[in-house]
A and B are shown apart, each in its own frame.
Chain A
Amino acid sequence: GENVEQHPSTLSVQEGDSAVIKCTYSDSASNYFPWYKQELGKGPQLIIDIRSNVGEKKDQRIAVTLNKTAKHFSLHITETQPEDSAVYFCAASSYSSASKIIFGSGTRLSIRP
C-alpha cells in the first residue's frame, strides 16, 4: 500500500522568511496530493492540492511542486506570518484506491517574531 514520508517533523523560521516541507510517496499510481493545515484543537483544513497532470501550483504565498519521476512533492510558504504557525500534513491518494488518502506524519511549523 501507499506510504507517505514527511520531513522535517519540526521547523522554526523567522517571520518573513520562507518555509519548505518535503514529502515522498511510494505508490506510483497516486495522482492527487493535498496539503492540510491543522491548528490546535481543530480538524485539518485543506490549504492547497495538486494533481499529477501539473508540476506546480501557487496560491498567494503558498506553492506546491510535484516531481512524479522522483515521487516527491513539496510545500513552500513565502513571507511567513505568525498565523502560519500550525501542523502541516502532506497526503497522497489515487482514484484506484477509492480516493483513500494516506497522510504523512506532520510538520510542526513555528514562526519566530
Chain B
Amino acid sequence: EAEVAQSPRYKITEKSQAVAFWCDPISGHATLYWYRQILGQGPELLVQFQDESVVDDSQLPKDRFSAERLKGVDSTLKIQPAELGDSAMYLCASSPRRQGAGDIQYFGAGTRLSVL
C-alpha cells in the first residue's frame, strides 16, 4: 500500500538553529499539504501545494518558515531560526487531483520536533 514518507521521524534542536523536514507524497498525487499539530490539538494547515505552486500559505509564519516543492513531487519545510514555540508534530499529507468536492488526504507519520 502506497504511503506518504516523511523524514526524519524525530528532530531535537536548539533554538535559533535551522531545521528542515522532508516529505515524499504518494506517487501521482498532485496536492501536498504541510500541517503543524501541537500536542492535544488537531492538525492546522501551514501550506498547500498544487503541483509546484503554492495554493494556500496564509497560516505559514513566513518570517521563519519556508516551503518548497520544486519539481512538483517531494517537498521540504524549513524553519530558520527555530523557536521554543515551534515544538510540535509536523505532518505531511497528499491527495489526488479530482473533480468535485473534497479530496481525501493521506497523512504521513510526521516529524516530531523538539526545540530546546
> What residues of chain A have their CB less than 8 Å away from a CB belonging to chain B?
4, 6, 31-32, 34, 36, 41-46, 49, 51-52, 89, 91, 93-95, 98-101, 103-106
A/B interface sample: 7 pairs, CB < 8 A: A32-B101, A41-B109, A43-B107, A43-B110, A49-B102, A89-B42, A95-B100
Q: Could you say which residues of chain A place their CB within 8 Å of the CB of B108? A: 43
Query: Is B106's CB within 8 Å of the partner chain A?
Result: yes
Total contacts A-B at CB 8 Å: 66
Least distance between B90 CB and chain A CB atoms (Å): 10
- The reply to whether A100 and B45 form a contact with Cβ atoms under 8 Å apart is yes
Q: Could you say which residues of chain B place their CB within 8 Å of the CB of A49? A: 102, 104
Which chain B residues numbered 80 to 94 have a C-beta less than 8 Å away from chain A? Answer: 91, 93
Contact mask for chain B residues 39-50; partner A; CB cutoff 8 A; 1 contact, 0 none: 011111100101
Q: Could you say which residues of chain B place their CB within 8 Å of the CB of A100? A: 45, 48, 56
Query: Is B16's CB within 8 Å of the partner chain A?
Result: no
Query: Is B55's CB within 8 Å of the partner chain A?
Result: yes
- The reply to whether A99 and B42 form a contact with Cβ atoms under 8 Å apart is no
Contact of B42 among A43, A45, A98, A103 (CB under 8 A): A103
- The reply to whether B102 and A42 form a contact with Cβ atoms under 8 Å apart is no
